[in-house]
Amino acid sequence: MWSLLAKALLAGAMITAISEIGRRLPATAAIVASLPLVSVLGMIFLWHARPDAENMAIHAEATFWYVLPSLPMFLLIPALLRSGTSFWIALLAGCVLTVALYLAMMQVGPRFGLRL
């Protein structure tokens, strides 16, 4: 139970730090947000729970492939905001695009031998 609480507090602290940095230095916050901190911490926690090299290799490789469909969201949202779309609509559109691309990756990836 304490381990779960510690993980949740750490994730919350990371989000809080990014949002506080972003109020003053948006580009710096973007750099911090783009760091694979969550992935690295997730791998550490996963390794602690199940130290299996093959399982970790599958996890790390799948993480790489699942990052790719999320990237277009970070181009769509600013394009929509700059064209006058409200923040919430732009965010929703970015999330919908990401979900659609994740679903496409889940369908197409295994056809190319990706272990997702």
- The pLDDT value recorded for residue 6 is 85
| pLDDT under 50: residue ranges of the chain | none
State the total domains in the chain: 1
- Other beta carbons within 10 angstroms of residue 52's beta carbon come to 12
Structural domain harbouring 81? 52-116
Does any domain span residue 40?
A: no
- The pLDDT value recorded for residue 11 is 85
Does any domain span residue 4?
A: no
Does any domain span residue 57?
A: yes
- The pLDDT value recorded for residue 52 is 96
- The pLDDT value recorded for residue 89 is 98
Q: 72 near 98, Cβ under 8 Å?
A: yes
Q: Which two tokens stand for residue 95?
A: 């999330």
Does any domain span residue 76?
A: yes
Does any domain span residue 110?
A: yes
Q: Which of 59, 67, 69 is nearest to 103 (CA)?
A: 69
